[in-house]
Structure 1
């Protein structure tokens, strides 16, 4: 057997990929929230209305909805922001899992490059163009550091969790 022989790709199990990506997106969303507690990307002033809230307000959702909170353990937590945060996380985790199964190059270096590409596309491109966040040159370097490294940690988590859940689901299905 040649060392250069490529591994035969199995056909995509779409249901397993969606489940695996969904599970990975929830876990990676928690990782990203934890990351931002250690290295906050924005100042408290800029976080008073965070990017998910700003985006919704740009689409006409009133502030009383975008700033809606729930209370837990003495903390006031922005549930609407969390819906957007986890929606984004699971959507991209599912896309990553599906695309990565079809095009393995997407998963190069455990998703590091994919995570950085998402950061560049959204934090340096789309959101500044929409006015959701300041232009890249007007964002503090701490924001760039936190968001770029946070997107790497987020996507590596998607890669690890999604790959393992997908592998287990497909193996279980093949046993039956």
Structure 2
């Protein structure tokens, strides 16, 4: 725990901005190292999870068109909602539990990957059991979550410092 005064508004803003940028980084990562086969991605995990709670497939598979391509905007809403929520949690949490910054956030990224891809989503039957997931999925998701949270660490800390630089001068 730390004794310094934390500016929660600045931490939340910093985490929100970082979450949007890191969400873009994670999407880019998945274009380079796709975690799922095209067959398994026909209904991706965000779509599957929403369908499991009763959202109809015509909603979960809704798309918009850009540059002649159909893009899954509902999946993107879930993706960026997850990214931004955890970036904000990290941005605030690192001030109270500094150990989550281990490896500039990469350890926390691995923790989130393990919690969701090895425990929560398989338990909910949203994705296959760990042993039934291909090695490529583990590599892509593990490294992708490390890169995602490392991006959150870099950006949220920089923005937090900028937002609080005048506050720190007066204390």
Structure-1-length-normalised TM-score: 0.93
Is there any run of 5+ residues in structure 1 with no aligned partner, and where? 1-7
Q: 2:14 aligns with which of 17, 20, 45?
A: 20
Q: 2:142 aligns with which of 141, 148, 168?
A: 148
User: In the alignment, is residue 11 of structure 1 matched against residue 14 of structure 2?
Assistant: no
User: In the alignment, is residue 107 of structure 1 matched against residue 110 of structure 2?
Assistant: no
Query: 1:5: which partner in 2?
Result: none
Give, in whole Å, the separation in 1 of the partners of 2:67 and 2:167. 41
Q: Aligned-pair distance for 1:32?
A: 0.1
- Within 5 Å, give how 1:70-89 maps onto structure 2: 70-89=64-83
Query: 1:159: which partner in 2?
Result: 153
Q: Aligned-pair distance for 1:10?
A: 2.3
Query: 1:52: which partner in 2?
Result: 46
Give, in whole Å, the separation in 2 of the partners of 1:64 and 1:74. 20
Q: Aligned-pair distance for 1:29?
A: 0.2
Q: How many residues align?
A: 169
Q: 1:40 aligns with which of 30, 34, 41?
A: 34
Give, in whole Å, the separation in 2 of the partners of 1:121 and 1:105. 17
Q: Aligned-pair distance for 1:76?
A: 0.5
Give, in whole Å, the separation in 1 of the partners of 2:160 and 2:7. 9
Q: 1:61 aligns with which of 45, 55, 63?
A: 55
Structure-2-length-normalised TM-score: 0.96
Moved over 6 A (4+): none
Is there any run of 5+ residues in structure 2 with no aligned partner, and where? none
Give me the CA root mean square deviation: 1.2
Query: 2:111: which partner in 1?
Result: 117
- Partner secondary structure for residue 164 of structure 1: helix
Q: Aligned-pair distance for 1:172?
A: 3.7
